[in-house]
């Protein structure tokens, strides 16, 4: 099946290929580093990671930019309250974000760019918008006049005709589905930090950073622009208005948006007590790979209900595949190849790839993995699984893991690495051979205390983490 995605702009599922050089030019809106990111944010970032891996599985190269919003109303408010310089404050949460991404095994985009590294580029873009009469100034602030952009509303499919009153909005985020002129540049307020630029002192509004950095690194027309569904309006609508007014070209060919995350069926909110950062959940003893699995398991266009039962099921599902892999690697099978099973493996791998190409249908892709694991396990139990079937089964698991990336257990601080476990097992085998059973038992006990379970089988010792 050819790769295809739902495009928010056209409201259609469309075949996807990059416009040039087999390289996907992609921009995704990154975190605002004013506090620790919550699991709703990580649902979107996990979707982007799965998207990257599927694009690569289709043979495309990636050129992907993600911004770090390190100046906005909330950041300034929090940094001021803590008497910290802006850079010092945002450095803490930028670092935390990168650590969280690493825990969830999210690949680093090719360019990860802080907004404040591009203030002069933003000022220059605002000057160009002013020169083409898309802006007006009030008290040192610069606003984008949306009446000058006839396509306003084409992404969110809102009809704003008759509703463009020229009212302005100063805050970075606004809820109402009415069209307002938005701030490109904000005059400095008393006691706030500001930048001195060609268009005067101040700081950029939120929307302009994405337009400027996307065009700077990726060119005038992107292949994909992605983010959370809450960004469609106003943020992405405003990005389109700015970018297309600057270049006269379509800003992005595809727009992809991940739906909301609910917690135990409720909207996540601090007052409901169901607001979780990634750190909160890891502190409760859940494995990051189980969290990753749960976030990835629901197709991105469906809202995801995050529950602790769901997390436990995710951990069990991962264990099933790990155990199956271990069985493939360590059991002895009769020679030859079972042709029926070989065909079953090939069709499972095909349906896995097809499901992902069908607008990243992760739920169906996972179903094809688990149905296969069930069938292959019963073939093993009945002696029908042959040595010649092992390689293709392992290859299918490798393809699964190249997208979902959950098979390797996370090694916590102070835990034994895989290599250290292997070395201890070797020592135990040698001790047993030398009839030093006391030492062999001691090693087994030591490993058990680290949550590592040994199993003596005909074909040698195998082990797993609890
Ligand atoms: Zn953005």
What was the pLDDT predicted at 466?
77
Which residues, in sequence order, are CB contacts of 234 under 8 Å at separation 6+? Answer: 173, 174, 180, 182, 207
266 CA from centroid of ligand 1 (Å): 26
2 CA from centroid of ligand 1 (Å): 28
67 CA from centroid of ligand 1 (Å): 7
Tell how far CA 161 is from the center of its chain: 36
**Tokens coding 88:** 């010092």
Q: If phi over 0 gives left and psi between -120 and 50 gives alpha, with beta otherwise, what is residue 149?
A: beta
Closest residue by Cα to residue 317 from 266, 254, 365? 365
pTM of the model: 0.90
CA distance 386 to 370: 20
What was the pLDDT predicted at 165?
56
What was the pLDDT predicted at 167?
62
What was the pLDDT predicted at 95?
97
**Tokens coding 147:** 């009446």
pLDDT tens digit string along 44-79? 999 999 999 999 999 999 999 999 999 998 898 899
Helix (H) or strand (E) holding 78: helix 73-81
Please identify every residue whose CB atom is under 5 Å from ligand 1, which is an ion: 29, 210
| Mean pLDDT, residues 318-322 | 96
37 CA from centroid of ligand 1 (Å): 16
CA distance 19 to 449: 55
272 CA from centroid of ligand 1 (Å): 28
Q: Look at 167-171, 220-224, 230-234, 462-466 and tell me which has the smallest mean pLDDT.
A: 167-171
What was the pLDDT predicted at 422?
87
pLDDT tens digit string along 173-203? 554 445 789 999 999 988 888 999 999 999 9
Give Cα separations from 279 to 37, 39, 97, 229, 275 (angstroms): 9, 9, 10, 24, 11
Percent of the chain with pLDDT over 70: 96
74 CA from centroid of ligand 1 (Å): 16
28 CA from centroid of ligand 1 (Å): 7
| Mean pLDDT, residues 12-31 | 98
235 CA from centroid of ligand 1 (Å): 6
341 CA from centroid of ligand 1 (Å): 48
403 CA from centroid of ligand 1 (Å): 25
pLDDT tens digit string along 230-289? 999 999 999 999 999 999 999 999 999 999 999 999 988 888 888 999 999 999 989 999
401 CA from centroid of ligand 1 (Å): 30
376 CA from centroid of ligand 1 (Å): 45
Q: Is 400 helix (H, G, I), strand (E, B) or coil?
A: helix
What was the pLDDT predicted at 166?
57
pLDDT band at residue 98, thresholds of 50, 70 and 90?
very high
CA distance 228 to 209: 17
What was the pLDDT predicted at 364?
98
**Tokens coding 427:** 């020592």
pLDDT tens digit string along 349-383? 999 999 999 999 999 999 999 999 999 999 999 99
351 CA from centroid of ligand 1 (Å): 34
Q: Which comes out higher in pLDDT, residue 196 or 417?
A: 196
Give Cα separations from 163 to 180, 230, 234 (angstroms): 9, 21, 15
Neighbours of 77 (CB within 10 A): 12
| Mean pLDDT, residues 5-26 | 98
What was the pLDDT predicted at 175?
47
pLDDT tens digit string along 440-453? 888 888 888 888 88
| Opening angle at CA 280, ends 275 and 284, nearest 5 | 125
Give burial (CB, 10 Å; 0-12/13-18/19+) of 6. Answer: middle
Give burial (CB, 10 Å; 0-12/13-18/19+) of 252. Answer: buried
Q: Where are the beta strands (DSSP E) in 130-230?
A: 135-138, 141-144, 168-169, 181-186, 195-197, 200-204, 222-228
Q: Where are the beta strands (DSSP E) in 83-231?
A: 111-114, 135-138, 141-144, 168-169, 181-186, 195-197, 200-204, 222-228
To the nearest whole number, what is the mean pLDDT of the chain? 93
212 CA from centroid of ligand 1 (Å): 10
Q: Quick check: 123 pLDDT over 70? A: yes
210 CA from centroid of ligand 1 (Å): 5
């Amino acid at each position: 099946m050819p790769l295809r995605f739902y495009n928010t702009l056209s409201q259609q599922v469309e075949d996807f290929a990059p416009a040039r050089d087999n390289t996907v030019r992609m921009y995704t809106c990154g975190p605002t580093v004013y506090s620790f990111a919550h699991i709703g944010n990580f649902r979107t970032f996990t979707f982007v990671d799965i998207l990257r891996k599927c694009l690569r599985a289709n043979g495309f190269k990636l050129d992907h930019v993600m911004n770090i919003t390190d100046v906005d109303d909330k950041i300034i408010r929090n940094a001021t309250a803590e008497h910290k310089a802006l850079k010092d404050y945002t450095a803490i949460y930028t670092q935390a974000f990168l650590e969280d991404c690493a825990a969830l095994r999210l690949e680093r985009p090719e360019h990860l760019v802080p907004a404040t590294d591009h203030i002069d580029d933003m000022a220059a873009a605002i000057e160009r918008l002013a020169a083409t009469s898309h802006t007006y100034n009030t008290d040192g602030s610069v606003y984008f006049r949306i009446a000058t952009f006839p396509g306003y509303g084409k992404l969110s499919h809102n009809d704003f005709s008759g509703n463009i009153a020229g009212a302005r909005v100063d805050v970075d985020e606004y809820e109402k589905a009415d069209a307002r002129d938005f701030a490109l540049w904000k005059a400095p307020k008393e006691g706030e930090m500001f930048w001195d630029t060609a268009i005067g002192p101040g700081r950029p509004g939120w929307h302009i950073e994405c337009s400027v950095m996307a065009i700077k690194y990726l060119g005038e027309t992107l292949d994909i622009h992605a983010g959370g569904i809450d960004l469609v309006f106003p943020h992405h609508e405003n990005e389109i208005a700015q970018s297309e007014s600057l270049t006269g070209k379509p800003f992005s060919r595809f727009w992809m948006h991940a739906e909301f995350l609910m917690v135990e069926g409720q909207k996540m909110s601090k007052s409901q007590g169901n607001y979780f950062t990634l750190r909160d959940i890891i502190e409760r003893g859940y494995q990051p790979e189980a969290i990753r699995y749960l976030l990835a398991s629901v197709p991105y266009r469906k809202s995801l209900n995050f529950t602790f039962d769901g997390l436990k099921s995710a951990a069990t599902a991962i264990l099933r595949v790990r155990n199956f892999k271990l069985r493939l690697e360590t059991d002895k099978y009769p020679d030859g190849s079972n042709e029926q099973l070989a065909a079953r493996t090939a069709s499972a791998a095909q349906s896995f790839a097809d499901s992902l190409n069908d607008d990243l249908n992760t739920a169906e892709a996972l179903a094809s993995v688990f149905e296969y694991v069930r069938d292959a396990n019963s073939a093993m139990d009945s002696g029908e699984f042959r040595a010649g079937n092992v390689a293709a089964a392992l290859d299918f698991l490798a393809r699964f893991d190249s997208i979902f990336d959950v098979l390797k257990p996370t090694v916590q601080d102070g835990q034994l690495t895989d290599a250290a476990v292997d070395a201890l097992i070797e020592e135990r085998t040698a001790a047993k051979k030398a009839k030093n059973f006391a030492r062999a038992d001691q090693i087994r006990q030591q490993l058990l205390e680290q949550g590592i379970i040994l199993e003596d089988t005909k074909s040698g010792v195998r082990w797993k983490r609890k």
